[in-house]
């Protein structure tokens, strides 16, 4: 691999209208078109968790995208038409009678490169009452580089991020609907996952209000040293950052955390 493997990122930090997939699809299509107009044009576009329905859990059986078909058609076609990779946030995804919280990702040719369903369901939002958890890790290749995916609450489980890093991930994508008042947790956990695993963390959180819950955005791109390269505020925005994936190699060589592990003791 060359000394530089740069990727231009666009994070669509959007508001989501609970229980209205048509409105959310229309909004996302508009923001996708806006994202690809940036200079430099993004290589990868990322967006938030459950963007198609929001947390309309009591209606989720009726609202979920059956087998992700509508979502996959939109994202695959857009990726191919615009020659861009898409980490498609996550959606309420209905498979037979089970609804999962699923990421679909596509390469520049519109081919599906990843499907990951959230492993850890968040009881404070009653996810376990309406959704089923996934049972596979979010591992895939992006532009020839290994990457990983987690969703929102997953970041509270360092074992999962470490497993992805041990499997070679240099970049971790984290779509989320992370609400107030836990901004400090959000920022701290994401930076910790980047530092301890010496990899890029690309997190995309929603903004806006759903019922009595408000979401603070603060989507971030964090480098392998834990430095924040870009961070949103609490308003809808498209955030841009450029990363060099060879920096992961350099950081891991400088502080050889993985070589110095002693897993037989822990």
Question: Using CA atoms, how far apart are residues 58 and 49, in angstroms rounded to an integer?
Answer: 17
Average of per-residue pLDDT values in the chain: 97
* Rounded CA separation 254/125 (Å): 41
pTM, entire model: 0.97
The 8-class DSSP code of residue 58 comes to: G
Q: Which domains does the chain have, with CATH numbers?
A: 6-258 (3.60.110.10)
pLDDT at 1 over 50: no
Count CB atoms within 10 A of the CB of residue 20.
16
* Residues 6 or more apart in contact with residue 235 via CB below 8 angstroms: 207, 217
- Is 118 a catalytic site residue? yes
Q: What was the pLDDT predicted at 124?
A: 87
Please confirm, yes or no, whether 49 is among the known catalytic residues: yes
**Tokens 């009726």, residue?**
62
204 catalytically annotated: no
- Which residue of the set 72, 94, 115, 118 is catalytic? 118
Q: Residue 261: pLDDT band by 50, 70, 90 thresholds?
A: very high
Which secondary-structure segment (H or E) carries 164? Answer: helix 158-166
Crossing angle for the helix pair 183-197 and 158-166, to the nearest 10 degrees: 30
Rounded-to-integer distance, Cα 215 and Cα 179, Å: 4
Count CB atoms within 10 A of the CB of residue 2: 6
pLDDT band at 4 (very low <50, low <70, confident <90, very high): confident
Strand bridging mode 6-13 / 44-46: parallel
DSSP 8-state code for residue 42: P
pLDDT digits (tens, 9 = 90+) for 8-58: 999 999 999 999 999 999 999 999 999 999 999 999 999 999 999 999 999
Q: What is the pLDDT of residues 80-125, one digit of tens each?
A: 999 999 999 999 999 999 999 999 999 999 999 999 999 999 998 8
Given 49, 115, 127, 247, which residue is catalytic? 49
**Residue 44: CB partners within 8 Å, gap ≥ 6?**
7, 8, 9, 10, 84, 85, 86, 87, 142, 202
Q: What percent of the chain has pLDDT over 70?
A: 99
Catalytic residue among 152, 177, 204, 247: 152
């Amino acid at each position: 691999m060359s000394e530089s493997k740069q990727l231009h990122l666009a994070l669509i930090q959007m508001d989501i209208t609970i229980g209205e997939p048509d409105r959310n699809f229309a909004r996302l299509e508009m923001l996708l078109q806006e994202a690809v107009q940036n200079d430099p044009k993004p290589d990868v576009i990322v967006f938030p968790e459950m963007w198609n329905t929001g947390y309309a859990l009591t209606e989720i059986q009726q609202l979920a995208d059956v087998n992700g078909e509508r979502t996959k058609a939109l994202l695959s076609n857009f990726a191919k038409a615009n020659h861009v990779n898409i980490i498609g946030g996550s959606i309420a995804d209905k498979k037979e009678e089970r609804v999962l919280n699923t990421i679909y990702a596509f390469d520049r040719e519109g081919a599906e490169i990843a499907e990951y369903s959230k492993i850890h369901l968040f009881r404070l939002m009653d996810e376990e009452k309406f959704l089923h958890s996934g049972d596979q890790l979010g591992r895939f290749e992006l532009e020839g580089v290994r990457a990983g995916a987690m969703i929102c609450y997953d970041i509270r489980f360092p074992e999962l991020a470490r497993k992805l890093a041990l499997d070679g991930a240099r970049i971790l994508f984290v779509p989320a609907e992370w609400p107030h008042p836990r901004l400090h947790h959000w920022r701290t956990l994401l930076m910790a996952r980047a530092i301890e695993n010496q990899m890029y963390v690309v997190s995309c959180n929603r903004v806006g209000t759903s019922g009595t819950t408000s979401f603070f955005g603060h989507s971030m791109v964090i480098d392998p040293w834990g430095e924040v390269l870009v961070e949103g505020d609490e308003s809808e925005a498209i955030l841009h950052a450029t990363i060099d994936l060879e920096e992961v190699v350099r950081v891991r060589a400088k502080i050889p955390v993985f070589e110095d592990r002693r897993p037989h003791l822990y």
